[in-house]
Structure 1
Amino acid sequence: MTAPIETTGSAAEAKPEAVLAGAKLSQIDGRSLGRIAWNRFKRDKVAMAGGIVVILLVLLAVLAKPIESIFGLDPNAFNQELINPELLAPKGALGGISWDHPLGVEPQTGRDILARIIEGSWVSLLVAAGSTLLSVVIGVIMGVVAGFYGGWVDAGISRLMDTFLAFPLLLFAISISASLQNGAFGLSGLPLRIGVLVFVIGFFSWPYIGRIVRAQTLSLREREFVEAARSLGARGPFILFRELLPNLMAPILVYSTLLIPTNILFEASLSFLGVGISPPQSSWGGMLTTAVDLYQVDPMFMIIPGMAIFITVLAFNLLGDGLRDALDPRSK
Structure 2
Amino acid sequence: MTAPIETTGSAAEAQPEAVLTGAKQSQIEGRSLGQIAWARFKRDKLAVAGGVVVLLLVLLAVLAKPIQWVFGLDPNAFNQDLIDPALLAPKGAWGGMSWDHPLGVDPQFGRDILARIIEGSWVSLLVAGGATVLSVVIGVVMGIVAGFYGGWVDTVISRMMDTFLAFPLLLFAISLSATLQDGAFGLSGLPLRISVLIFVIGFFSWPYMGRIVRAQTMSLRNREFVEAARSLGARGPFILFRELLPNLVAPILVYATLLIPTNILFEAGLSYLGVGIAPPQASWGGMLTTAVDTYQADPQYMFVPGLAIFITVLAFNLLGDGLRDALDPRSK
Per the normalisation by structure 1, the TM-score is 0.94
CA displacement at 1:108 relative to structure 2: 2.6
- Residue matched to 1:267: 267
Residues 107-164 of structure 1, C-alpha deviations (whole Å, 9 max, x = no match):
1310000000000000000000000000000000000000000000000000000011
Letter matched to residue 63 of structure 2:
L
Distance 1:37 1:20, change over 3 A: farther
Distance 1:22 1:134, change over 3 A: farther
Instruction: Tell me how far apart the structure 1 counterparts of residues 306 and 272 of structure 2 sit (CA, whole Å).
Output: 11
State the identity as a percent.
Answer: 85
Letter matched to residue 217 of structure 1:
T
CA displacement at 1:22 relative to structure 2: 10
Equivalences for residues 34-183 of structure 1 within 5 A: 34-183=34-183
Instruction: Tell me how far apart the structure 2 counterparts of residues 148 and 122 of structure 1 sit (CA, whole Å).
Output: 38
Distance 1:19 1:161, change over 3 A: farther
Unaligned runs of 5+ in 1: 1-14
**Is 1:306 the equivalent of 2:277?**
no
- Residue matched to 1:294: 294
Any idea what SS the aligned residue of 1:54 has?
Answer: helix
Distance 1:226 1:85, change over 3 A: same
Distance 1:221 1:87, change over 3 A: same
Distance 1:23 1:220, change over 3 A: farther
Instruction: Tell me how far apart the structure 2 counterparts of residues 251 and 22 of structure 1 sit (CA, whole Å).
Output: 48
Poorly superposed stretches of 4+, deviation over 4 Å: 19-24
Matched residues, number:
318
CA displacement at 1:191 relative to structure 2: 0.2
- Residue matched to 1:221: 221
Instruction: Tell me how far apart the structure 2 counterparts of residues 17 and 63 of structure 1 sit (CA, whole Å).
Output: 63
Instruction: Tell me how far apart the structure 2 counterparts of residues 244 and 82 of structure 1 sit (CA, whole Å).
Output: 60
Residues 53-100 of structure 1, C-alpha deviations (whole Å, 9 max, x = no match):
000000000000000000000000000111112111111110010111
Distance 1:30 1:123, change over 3 A: same
Letter matched to residue 45 of structure 1:
K
Letter matched to residue 83 of structure 1:
I
- Residue matched to 1:205: 205
Instruction: Tell me how far apart the structure 1 counterparts of residues 180 and 158 of structure 2 sit (CA, whole Å).
Output: 31
Cα-Cα RMSD = 1.4
Letter matched to residue 259 of structure 1:
L
Equivalences for residues 174-193 of structure 1 within 5 A: 174-193=174-193
Instruction: Tell me how far apart the structure 1 counterparts of residues 20 and 204 of structure 2 sit (CA, whole Å).
Output: 63
CA displacement at 1:18 relative to structure 2: 2.4
Range moving further from structure 2, 209-218 or 80-89: 80-89
Residues 269-319 of structure 1, C-alpha deviations (whole Å, 9 max, x = no match):
000000000001000000000001100001000000000000000000000
Letter matched to residue 101 of structure 1:
H
Letter matched to residue 103 of structure 1:
L
